[in-house]
């Protein structure tokens, strides 16, 4: 799903025509009460066209916390879930799920949408995780797990949280075909973002399952069927659901598990339940080459001034911050380096962790789903990355430890260094640096300005002004301050 901002003179019919959708679909996706009255500056969600009619089945209500209770098994060409239901598999043995399936399509995704209309990322992840982990995890089970483990940012999932259901970790980065090919050749499906409207922005996710030369096989959550892509000018292009899909630059790989390469499904799968702390710890301390870099190994030398007591204190202080515990990116090296940077800059380390967790879930490859290009631990904008001597693509390929160098560079800028004492100021440093150090009643944006319209949702009391206190409310609540 993508979003657009309403411009003066726009109508729903004009916007619908420009984005290959209908007025009714826009009304439904945005809960519009009067289709003839829309306001310039408002952000509209553009539905991806995958909404399907749900049956009256209430089977999707039966998920509890995303755990499996029995041993799932594969047979040739079929994957049997813990409830006994069988699903077809692609040639490599990856289960094929449809996001609009009546068993789970009616579940609420994140905060408002349904799996049927907007659950492509969840469904694509469920297919990949099922194959790699050797356990059948259907989209409903994965959604239930994400609900129970703070796995959503609004309607967008945290890839690492999704991987956690299978005791694995996830890395989101660019379309590096060397990496993608190695993953597929090892029997590890890869989730990729695609554009189907022609604007180059992400509208949908599919699961790559195999390749033969420059032809790639995939499972499409929209149709619940297999499809194929051809590599053309550095992009994957294919046809599905009466649309032309083209890769839009993001690929998600998963570390851990024990997939079987080849063209047939494994004969059986081992029993698996919701991953325990021990399972997740294994992933954290023994990451694969995709998640642990040389820089991380070398960072031990650079962090000798931090001891185990310091790290234990940081863990205690950050225990209530969503996304901190059991996060594969939050390694001992990451914690030690965060403590050193915080000390050097005079920032409370909990403040640093809070802002990174709020902005990215502590995932160095996290990209802004609205298409702004913001990437990484503190959501570096492309121009900001360039000013720091890097690019957002380069940042997305870094480990969490490596990217901390650029977090330090950002907060070391003369207009910020030594001024960040609170979570509110840390957030202002990212959102509106001019407000760093200002009192909480300082006004950031006023009604009638473009910046106000872009941030209108932050005006909590609807008085036409957005103060620092209002703008920072969500992050302060996230950090446990309010």
pLDDT of residue 255: 85
CB 99 within 8 A of CB 120: yes
70-84, 112-126, 402-416: least confident range: 70-84
**How confident is the model over 167-196, as a mean pLDDT?**
90
**C-alpha closest to that of 321 among 357, 273, 290:** 357
Q: What is the pLDDT of residue 290?
A: 33
Instruction: Specify the pLDDT at position 435.
Output: 92
The single-letter DSSP state of residue 437 is T
Q: Is the pLDDT of residue 109 over 90?
A: no
Q: Is 174 exposed, middle or buried (0-12, 13-18, 19+ CB in 10 A)?
A: middle
Q: Is pLDDT of 278 > 50? A: no
In this predicted structure, what is the pLDDT of residue 349? 94
| 3-17, 31-45, 279-293, 396-410: least confident range | 279-293
Res. 69: pLDDT tops 60: no
The model's confidence at residue 200, banded by pLDDT at 50, 70 and 90, is confident
Q: Give yes or no for residue 55 having a pLDDT over 90.
A: no
- The CA distance from 327 to 171, in Å, is 12
Whether 277 shows a pLDDT value over 80: the answer reads: no
Contact 177, 183 (CB under 8 A): no
Confidence of residue 11 (pLDDT cuts 50, 70, 90): confident
Evaluate if residue 455 carries a pLDDT over 60: yes
The pLDDT, as a whole number, for residue 362 is 95
Residue 293 has pLDDT above 80, yes or no: no
Q: Is the pLDDT of residue 297 over 50?
A: no
3-state secondary structure at position 356: helix
Asked whether residue 270 carries a pLDDT value surpassing 80, the answer given is no
Please tell me the predicted confidence (pLDDT) of residue 283: 28
pLDDT 10s digits, 210-220: 999 999 999 99
Averaged pLDDT, 255-275: 45
Greatest pairwise CA separation for the chain in angstroms: 65
- Report the pLDDT value the prediction gives residue 276, as an integer from 0 to 100: 30
pLDDT per residue as tens digits for the range 121-170: 999 999 999 999 888 999 999 998 888 888 888 778 889 889 888 888 88
Mean pLDDT of 261-290: 32
Average pLDDT, the chain: 80
Of the chain, the percentage scoring pLDDT greater than 90 comes to 43
> Which of 47-56, 62-71, 226-235 is the least confident region?
62-71
Q: 202 to each of 110, 172, 223, 240, 382, how far by Cα in Å?
A: 18, 14, 18, 15, 17
- What domains can you pick out in the chain, each with its CATH number? 2-46 (3.10.350.10), 72-273 (3.90.70.10), 292-412 (no CATH), 424-478 (no CATH)
Handedness of CA 384, 390, 395, 401 (dihedral sign): negative
Please check the confidence at residue 331 and state whether its pLDDT lies above 60: yes
> Does the pLDDT at position 177 exceed 50?
yes
| The pLDDT of residue 73 is above 60 | no
Range name among 71-75, 103-107, 470-474 with the lowest pLDDT average: 71-75
Confidence of residue 357 (pLDDT cuts 50, 70, 90): very high
Cα distances from 411 to residues 260, 267, 463, in angstroms, run 45, 53, 32
Mean pLDDT over 249-269 rounds to 62
Q: What is the DSSP-derived secondary structure letter of residue 17?
A: H
Q: What local confidence, expressed as pLDDT, does residue 305 receive? A: 65
Measured CA to CA, the distance from residue 397 to residue 285 in angstroms comes to: 20
Alpha-carbon distances, residue 101 vs 45, 219, 263, 350 (angstroms):
23, 15, 26, 42
> Exposure string (b/e) for 131-151, b if CB count within 10 Å is 16 or more?
bbbbbbbbbbbbbbbbbebeb
User: Distance (Å, rounded) from C-alpha 187 to C-alpha 179?
Assistant: 13
Locate 27 and state its tokens: 């009304």
Beta strand extents in 12-154 (DSSP E only): 43-46, 73-75, 78-80, 86-88, 108-109, 113-114, 152-153
With beta carbons less than 8 A apart as the criterion, state whether 257 and 282 touch. no
What pLDDT score does 310 carry?
Answer: 87
Burial class, 458, CB count within 10 angstroms (exposed 0-12 / middle 13-18 / buried 19+): middle
Lookup result for tokens 């609420």: 108
Nearest in space to 357 (alpha carbons), one of 202, 476, 192: 476
Does the pLDDT at position 15 exceed 70?
A: yes
Q: How far apart are CA 10 and CA 39, in angstroms?
A: 9
3-class DSSP assignment, residue 230: strand
Is pLDDT of 454 > 50?
yes
pLDDT of 286 strictly over 60: no
Q: Which of 56-65, 108-117, 352-361 has the highest mean pLDDT?
A: 352-361
Q: What is the mean pLDDT of residues 347-365?
A: 94
Q: Read off the pLDDT of residues 411-438 as tens digits, 9 standing for 90 and up.
A: 999 989 888 989 999 999 988 999 999 9
What is the predicted pLDDT for the residue at 258? 66
When comparing pLDDT for 296 and 361, which is higher? 361
> What is the predicted pLDDT for the residue at 395?
92
- At 385-418, the pLDDT tens digits run 999 999 999 999 999 999 999 999 999 999 898 8
């Amino acid at each position: 799903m993508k979003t657009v901002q309403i411009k003066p003179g726009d109508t729903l019919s004009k916007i619908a025509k420009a984005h290959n959708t209908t007025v009714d679909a826009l009304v439904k996706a945005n809960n519009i009460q009067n289709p003839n009255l829309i306001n310039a500056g408002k952000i509209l969600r553009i539905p991806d066209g995958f909404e399907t009619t749900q049956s009256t089945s209430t089977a999707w209500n039966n998920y509890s916390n995303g755990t499996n209770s029995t041993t799932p098994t594969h047979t040739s060409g079929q994957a049997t879930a813990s409830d006994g239901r069988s699903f077809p598999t692609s040639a490599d043995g990856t289960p094929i799920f449809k996001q609009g399936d009546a068993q789970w399509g009616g579940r609420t995704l994140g905060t408002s949408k349904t799996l049927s209309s907007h659950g492509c990322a969840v469904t694509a992840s469920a297919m990949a995780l099922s194959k790699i982990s050797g356990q059948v995890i259907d989209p409903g089970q994965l959604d239930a797990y994400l609900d129970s483990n703070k796995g959503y940012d609004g309607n967008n999932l945290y890839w690492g949280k999704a991987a956690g259901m299978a005791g694995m970790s996830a890395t989101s980065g660019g379309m590096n075909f060397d990496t993608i090919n190695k993953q597929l050749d090892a029997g590890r499906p890869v989730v990729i973002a695609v554009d189907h409207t022609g604007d180059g922005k992400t509208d949908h996710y599919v699961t790559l399952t195999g390749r033969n030369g420059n032809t790639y096989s995939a499972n499409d959550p929209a149709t619940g069927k297999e499809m194929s892509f051809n590599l053309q000018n550095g992009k994957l292009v294919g046809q599905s659901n009466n649309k032309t899909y083209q890769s839009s630059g993001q690929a998600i790989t998963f570390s851990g598990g024990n997939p079987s390469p080849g063209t047939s499904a494994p004969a059986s799968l081992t029993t698996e339940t919701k991953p325990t702390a021990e399972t997740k710890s294994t992933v954290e301390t023994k990451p694969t080459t995709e998640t642990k870099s040389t820089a991380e190994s070398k960072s031990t030398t650079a962090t000798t001034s931090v001891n185990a007591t310091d790290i234990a204190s940081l863990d205690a202080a950050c225990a209530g911050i969503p996304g901190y515990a059991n996060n594969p990116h939050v390694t001992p090296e990451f914690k030690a380096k965060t403590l050193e940077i915080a000390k050097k800059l005079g920032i409370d380390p909990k403040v640093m962790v809070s802002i990174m967790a709020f902005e990215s879930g502590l995932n160095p490859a996290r990209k802004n789903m609205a298409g702004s290009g913001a990437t990484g631990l503190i959501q570096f904008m492309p121009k900001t990355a360039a000013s720091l001597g890097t690019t957002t693509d380069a940042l997305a390929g870094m480990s969490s430890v490596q990217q901390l160098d650029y977090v330090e560079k950002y907060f070391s800028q003369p207009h910020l260094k030594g001024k960040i004492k609170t979570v509110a100021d840390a957030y202002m440093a990212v959102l509106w640096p001019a407000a760093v150090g200002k009192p909480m009643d300082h006004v950031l944006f006023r009604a009638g300005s473009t910046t106000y319209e872009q941030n209108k949702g932050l005006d909590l009391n609807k008085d036409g002004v957005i103060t620092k206190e209002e703008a920072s409310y969500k992050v302060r609540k996230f950090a446990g301050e309010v």
